[in-house]
Amino acid sequence: MRSTLLRASLLALLTLAAPALIAPVSAMAPAAGDVPTMVEDPELERAIALIWAEEFAAAEPLLQAALKRNPKNPDAWNYLGFATRKLGNFEDAQTYYFNALRLDPEHLKAMEYLGELYLQTGEPELAKELLERITSLCTGACEERDQLTTAISKHGATN
């Protein structure tokens, strides 16, 4: 635990992130409440911290490098999709989310973020299909279901 906190503090200093990033990096997420699995790759941890700080362009090459080392990491593919989508590259983001889902067909965050991409690209029916899939996988409280439901509702209200 002490080693994790020390590493996270050093990482926060290196990335010049906000004081809120002093918590362990593996507990950070690109969206409120998103808690990724424990990360063993320091470069991937740094990329996650950059995403949390909304420095998507800086995170992208770190994620690419992490995936060269471990191309079977669905979380890294999901984060790459998230960063790429935030940079406006929807086509590549979709491919990255598909890669995450190919590796882990029940990756709820990848489904949620892909649903958000579908809303951004004018395909709300596909987002609704993903919401149904998430709902079928979730039991009890489910943040991904709730967030995609909210995004779909907001999208419907503006269109």
- Please tell me the distance from the alpha carbon of residue 72 to that of residue 20, in angstroms, as a whole number: 30
User: Are 22 and 11 within 8 A, CB to CB?
Assistant: no
Give the rounded percent of residues in the chain with a pLDDT score beyond 70: 74
Same structural domain, 76 and 149: no
Number of domains in the chain: 2
pLDDT value at residue 2: 34
Residue 42 sits in which domain range? 1-83
Same structural domain, 4 and 58: yes
- Please tell me the distance from the alpha carbon of residue 126 to that of residue 119, in angstroms, as a whole number: 8
In this predicted structure, the answer to whether residue 23 has a pLDDT above a threshold of 90 is: no
A 10 A CB-CB count for 150 gives: 10
Same structural domain, 56 and 3: yes
Which of helix, strand or coil describes residue 18? coil
Same structural domain, 52 and 112: no
Same structural domain, 41 and 114: no
Average confidence (pLDDT) over 142-159: 90
Average confidence (pLDDT) over 91-120: 98
- Please tell me the distance from the alpha carbon of residue 102 to that of residue 107, in angstroms, as a whole number: 9
Same structural domain, 51 and 113: no
- Please tell me the distance from the alpha carbon of residue 75 to that of residue 3, in angstroms, as a whole number: 23
Domain boundary among 15, 48, 83: 83
A 10 A CB-CB count for 109 gives: 26
H or E segment to which residue 91 belongs:
helix 90-103
Residue 98 lies in a domain: no
pLDDT value at residue 40: 77
- Place 22 in a pLDDT band, splitting at 50, 70 and 90: very low
Average confidence (pLDDT) over 103-127: 97
Looking at per-residue pLDDT, the higher value among 156 and 94 belongs to 94
Same structural domain, 64 and 126: no
Q: Per residue in 43-93, pLDDT tens?
A: 899 999 999 999 999 999 999 999 999 999 999 999 999 999 999 999 999
Domain boundary among 83, 114, 146: 83
DSSP states of 29-73: -SSTT--PPP---HHHHHHHHHHHTT-HHHHHHHHHHHHHH-TT-
User: Are 26 and 45 within 8 A, CB to CB?
Assistant: yes
Same structural domain, 77 and 6: yes
Average confidence (pLDDT) over 1-29: 32
pLDDT value at residue 17: 29
Same structural domain, 143 and 76: no
Same structural domain, 62 and 11: yes
Residue 53 lies in a domain: yes
In this predicted structure, the answer to whether residue 29 has a pLDDT above a threshold of 70 is: no
pLDDT value at residue 39: 55
